[in-house]
Amino acid sequence: MPAIHGRAASFIHLTTLVIMTHSALVVLVELAVFPVLAPILAVLLAFSVIVVHPVLVKMQFEEVKLVISTASSM
């Protein structure tokens, strides 16, 4: 196998470093992006629950109204 010199050797070393550190870099990026995406996903999940289960949400609102009216009558 011929020896690799010069620019090709440095490119191969750089590529090796990128491959070796790729999983660590991906983890760091995911940790940086997660705090931004988590609230967005939570809001989307809440809206989907309202759309998919309107009866459940209506029952919860009525329960809250009942609790408020009970508390105000005391």
47 versus 6: the higher-pLDDT residue is: 47
25 versus 73: the higher-pLDDT residue is: 25
**DSSP 8-state symbol, 4:** P
Where are the domains positioned within the chain?
7-73
Summarised one tens digit per residue, pLDDT across range 17-72 is: 777 777 887 888 888 999 999 999 999 888 887 777 766 667 776 776 766 777 66
Summarised one tens digit per residue, pLDDT across range 49-64 is: 777 776 666 777 677 6
Between CA 46 and CA 54 the distance in angstroms is 11
Residues sharing a CB contact under 8 Å with residue 4, sequence separation 6 or more, in sequence order: 12
